[in-house]
Structure 1
Amino acid sequence: MIFGYLWINCFSTLEYDHRLGGFSAAVSAIAFLLPALFTSSPIRQRYVLSKELLGRLLISILLFAAATMAVAALYNFRLVGIEDIYNFREQLDFPTFISYSIGIASAALLPFAYACFIARRNYWLAAAVLLLLLLYYPITLSKLAFFTPAWLVAMTLLARLVEARTAVILSLLLPLLAGLLLVVHKTADATIPITDAVRYFYTVNFRILAVPAAAMDVYSDFFSKHELTHFCQISFLKRFVACPYQDQMSIVMERAYKLGNFNASMFATEGIASMGLWLAPIALFGCGLVIALGNRLSAGLPPGFILVSGAVFPQILLNVPLSVALVTHGGAVLFLLWYITPRTMFEPDAADTA
């Protein structure tokens, strides 16, 4: 995302200090990665679930996710194609508790349960998780909900076939390479319909990387001319401090640029919007500390398990602020689940006796 923004920054026609924007983005990336990658202080497990309690927790997750889906379906359930979801997204209106439950269940609880069932070789229950996740699509009309089941299966296969770090690189390289090849082959009169090639390229190559990078460009322009948020975009803080923006940042950006409800990552929101281009690296250093905490809470778990159970989280981090990812989408819940997961579950004979 950062490299994408640095590229866009060279050609952007938006009027702000592009040299400062590029410098701020590069330093922010370093400030984020230093604590996120190099914090190695151990955190002792003071509470660990027994295998029996873990099993009950996993069944409880399935029941909670199913109940959330059933209640949410009373407010919205539409079977529409991906290209038509934006015709109905504005009509979605869930109670606050249901909205939080949907985000936490689909992004944190169910992927964690799926990874545990795979580790315990409970493949039928893992399949049930995938079905539940797919059923969240007609409720949320979200591309992420639609692709999450396939994404979890792909990450499972990658984690089995190659080492975890290689799997991470391939998880980014292969989908993007497929989009490029589709476009190249179509220009060479391939048999793939142009609509399918363009749809894939837009959904994967453009939406995953280009849009989050473009959001940094848009936010840099907007907050070079408007008052900073000073973190008041966090709903909880609006109760205690005066905020120049009463609406969500995505709505503010839609009114200013007419690009749709434009959410953005921590680099744009906690960084640029909250502290400005000069001080954004300080905010991103703090965000890196939060991710470092998650890393330490997962210490001792197999890399493949972390990769699969947290497979949805990077996609969320690219598109929403860190505070939203932790609370609304259950990132903090996922960190806690990693912390209390029994490491003995992954011993050679544990899966056969679980």
Structure 2
Amino acid sequence: MSITPFALISILFSLSQFSFGYFLGFYFYTIILGYLWLIQLSTFPYDHALAYASSFTSALAFLVPALFITAPIKPRLAISPDTFGKLLTSIFVLSAIIVVCGALFNLRLVGISEIYSLRNELQFPGLLQYAMGITSNVLLPFAFACFVAQKSWWRATSTLLLLLLFYPITLSKLALFAPVWLLFLGSVSLFLEARTTVALSLLLPILLGVILARLFETNAITYQQFISYFGLVNFRMIALPSSALDYYNDFFTTHELTYFCQINLVKSLVSCPYREPLAIVMQDAYQVGNFNASLFATEGIASVGMNMAPVAALACGLIISLGNCLSSGLPSRFVLLSAGVLAQTFLNVPLTISFVTNGAALLFLLWYITPRSLFERV
């Protein structure tokens, strides 16, 4: 099975303008492209031809609305720039309070290699855990984007420092690298348009990993120097989300579908064949570690199966297009920076978790109420 037909879908990106759907769509396109290449090497016995067709169609069904539905929704709740400034200050203060509360439950300065043995010991109250996820994924990146747009560099820097403090609390790699990631996006987008920045945000990190692999092959660097970057970026950020589709296709070919009962609200209303979260179910089945998967694997394959996965992907694409409409009229660089961390979470967690636990719904609301006149003054 060739990936050439799917590669032609990339033409859609040249025909569309930048939007939140473009940002997320390019990342998802890369995941599906990687899976369609990996499927040729898969040793699992499920129907690979059906899986290829399902993934191809699912990607297309998601991308069309995510890329091309961008009609603006005029805000009915208009707030003044001064009121919005007070909102930003409130976000910063609230984030600082949440950091302090989190530090009361856990504060450990450890290296990346040690976090895996310690994260299972972390226990936070449910409300605080939600607050920390929303703050680190949405509130602080949104505030950072606003301060950058206003050229308020001290406030932007303090926001990144506050974001970094989530690492010793949550022991999350994303929290550790989020400030560097936002600086990278901000620096590249300063010289290049947003669409080019999105492409380079994936291609440059991958290219560096390939260069390090070549240097390791020639004994120019040690294995530890190579794998510490390659394992974190090329494997964890790119290859693992693609591989997750392989595991989910194999598992749910021979096991019951969830029909969305992995969502806690649905599980409380109907019976569900799985008591544990899907990440635990997959870990127990394949012994590959505890990992979540993107909407194509969860809302698609796990919930409705390969045959109906494109329908679920279309529904998810329509939801993402709502973000396009609510952010219409905002500068592309602002949308890029405010969604910079959230886009990473979408690669590894279901759409429903991204919206509730990680705060995507709140980001949509913030985009909606952000005064467009703020950027005209700048």
1:293 match: 322
> Which has the larger displacement, 269-278 or 52-61?
52-61
> Contact 2:70/2:328 (CA < 8 Å) preserved in 1?
no
Q: Does residue 95 in structure 1 map to residue 128 in structure 2?
A: no
SS in 2 for 1:47: coil
2:284 match: 255
2:231 match: 202
SS in 2 for 1:10: helix
Work out the CA distance in 2 between the residues paired with 1:18 and 1:145. 36
1:338 match: 367
- Offset at 1:128? 0.8
2:302 paired residue among 273, 276, 290? 273
2:202 match: 172
Work out the CA distance in 2 between the residues paired with 1:64 and 1:229. 37
Q: Which amino acid aligns with 2:94?
A: F
2:82 match: 52
Q: Which amino acid aligns with 1:266?
A: L
Work out the CA distance in 2 between the residues paired with 1:183 and 1:49. 51
Deviations 1:134-153 (A, max 9, x none): 10001111111010000011
Identity across matched positions, percent: 53
1:189 match: 219
- Offset at 1:42? 2.8
- Offset at 1:194? 2.6
Work out the CA distance in 2 between the residues paired with 1:42 and 1:311. 21
Q: Which amino acid aligns with 2:374?
A: M
SS in 2 for 1:74: helix
Q: Which amino acid aligns with 1:290?
A: I
Q: Does residue 235 in structure 1 map to residue 264 in structure 2?
A: yes
Q: Does residue 84 in structure 1 map to residue 114 in structure 2?
A: yes
Structure 1: runs of 5+ lacking an equivalent: none
- Offset at 1:188? 2.0
1:24 match: 54
2:183 match: 153
Work out the CA distance in 2 between the residues paired with 1:222 and 1:176. 29
Deviations 1:85-126 (A, max 9, x none): 101111111111011001100000000000001111111111
Runs of 4 or more above 6 Å deviation: none
- Offset at 1:329? 0.3
Q: Does residue 221 in structure 1 map to residue 264 in structure 2?
A: no
- Offset at 1:198? 1.2
Work out the CA distance in 1 between the residues paired with 2:313 and 2:342. 17
Structure 2: runs of 5+ lacking an equivalent: 1-30
Work out the CA distance in 1 between the residues paired with 2:233 and 2:106. 26
- Offset at 1:313? 1.7
Deviations 1:52-89 (A, max 9, x none): 11111111111111111111112211111111110111
> Which has the larger displacement, 147-156 or 9-18?
9-18
- Offset at 1:271? 0.1
2:193 match: 163
Q: Does residue 65 in structure 1 map to residue 95 in structure 2?
A: yes
Q: Does residue 320 in structure 1 map to residue 310 in structure 2?
A: no
Give the TM-score of the pair, scaled to structure 1. Answer: 0.96
- Offset at 1:274? 0.3
SS in 1 for 2:41: coil
Q: Does residue 114 in structure 1 map to residue 150 in structure 2?
A: no
